[in-house]
């Protein structure tokens, strides 16, 4: 089947002497892998250099019994030049791309994930506070991929939270005071942090950008978010080392 789609480059690797494999997040097909035959001996064969996170229009032959598809045409539609000059923005975009790669299954279409990644790449260019985009993106991709932390009520007894709440990685959400004993590793969470996470989960991309986050809430949000990612994804993020070298307070992941 011949398919055409818009797709963002998540990673590339050389294949044999002459070819490359690219992993894309595409609008209609989700995460897909494409083989670019002969691109290394004849780079002009395709109208795209497959730059990391560039947006391309691709035409490929979709095989039924393989998840590696043969790309016949690839035209560059948008390149994000700022990623080559701003290390912090590049690191945030790299982390988000790695997150998409790890939480989204292969060939499972989610056009909203494609839009989310595109929104991130567009907004990072103009962002005065790129860290906020990192939290916003991470919470939204968790919701879209089925890893959404539950903060509406106690995750055990479902009662509304009154008084102090605790965040449990193990149970994936809030515990009330009565249920806290079920996870001794759960931590206090501020009401403002709960409200911020709920807002970022529910609002659309543009609304989320207008939210101001105080430094104390930002610190707790960052700790909770990344310890949650670490607990559930059990993956070492290659992009995290560089990102942490550029952030004022570090992201703690094993």
Which parts of this chain interact with Zn ion (CB under 5 A)? 154, 156-157, 176, 179
What is the spatial distance between Cα 157 and Cα 178, in angstroms, rounded to a whole number?
Answer: 9
Q: CB nearer to Zn ion: give 117 or 154.
A: 154
* Residues 156 and 183: beta-carbon distance below 8 Å: no
- Shortest gap between Cβ of 181 and Zn ion (angstroms)? 10
What is the spatial distance between Cα 68 and Cα 135, in angstroms, rounded to a whole number?
Answer: 32
Q: CB nearer to Zn ion: give 163 or 215.
A: 163
* Residues 20 and 28: beta-carbon distance below 8 Å: no
Collapsing DSSP states into helix, strand and coil, what is residue 129? coil
What is the spatial distance between Cα 39 and Cα 65, in angstroms, rounded to a whole number?
Answer: 24
Report the side by side order of strands in the sheet with 187-189: 173-175, 165-168, 187-189
Q: CB nearer to Zn ion: give 35 or 176.
A: 176
- Shortest gap between Cβ of 179 and Zn ion (angstroms)? 3
- Shortest gap between Cβ of 159 and Zn ion (angstroms)? 5
Distances, alpha carbon 144 to alpha carbons 94, 201, 202, in Å: 19, 10, 11
Q: CB nearer to Zn ion: give 66 or 159.
A: 159
- Shortest gap between Cβ of 188 and Zn ion (angstroms)? 15
- Shortest gap between Cβ of 169 and Zn ion (angstroms)? 16
Q: CB nearer to Zn ion: give 49 or 172.
A: 172
What is the spatial distance between Cα 174 and Cα 162, in angstroms, rounded to a whole number?
Answer: 11
- Shortest gap between Cβ of 171 and Zn ion (angstroms)? 10
Report which of 73, 70, 89 is spatially closest to residue 81, judged by C-alpha positions.
89
Collapsing DSSP states into helix, strand and coil, what is residue 132? helix
Q: CB nearer to Zn ion: give 146 or 160.
A: 160
> What is the DSSP-derived secondary structure letter of residue 121?
H
What is the spatial distance between Cα 252 and Cα 254, in angstroms, rounded to a whole number?
Answer: 7
- Shortest gap between Cβ of 155 and Zn ion (angstroms)? 8
Q: CB nearer to Zn ion: give 141 or 155.
A: 155
Assigned token pair, 44: 């002009």
């Amino acid at each position: 089947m011949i398919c055409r789609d818009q797709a963002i480059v998540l990673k590339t690797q050389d294949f044999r002497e002459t070819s490359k494999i690219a992993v894309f997040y595409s609008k209609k097909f989700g995460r897909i892998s494409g083989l670019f035959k002969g691109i290394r001996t004849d780079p002009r064969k395709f109208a795209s250099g497959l730059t990391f996170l560039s947006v391309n229009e691709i035409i490929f032959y979709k095989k039924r019994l393989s998840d590696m598809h043969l790309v016949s045409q690839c035209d560059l539609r948008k390149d994000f030049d700022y990623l080559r000059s701003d290390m912090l923005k590049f690191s945030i975009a790299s982390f988000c791309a790695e997150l998409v790669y790890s939480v989204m299954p292969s060939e499972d279409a989610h056009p909203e994930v494609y839009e989310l990644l595109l929104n991130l790449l567009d907004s990072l260019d103009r962002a005065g506070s790129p860290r906020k985009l990192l939290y916003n993106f991470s919470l939204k991709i968790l919701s879209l991929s089925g890893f959404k932390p539950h903060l509406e009520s106690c995750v055990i007894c479902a009662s509304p939270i009154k008084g102090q709440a605790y965040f449990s990685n193990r149970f994936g959400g809030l515990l009330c005071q009565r249920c806290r004993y079920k996870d001794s590793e759960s931590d206090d969470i501020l009401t403002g942090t709960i409200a911020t996470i709920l807002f970022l989960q529910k609002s659309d991309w543009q609304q989320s950008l207008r939210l101001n986050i105080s430094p104390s809430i930002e610190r707790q949000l960052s700790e909770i978010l990344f310890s949650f990612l670490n607990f559930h994804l059990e993956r070492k993020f290659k992009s995290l080392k560089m990102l942490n070298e550029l952030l004022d307070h570090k992201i703690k992941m094993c």
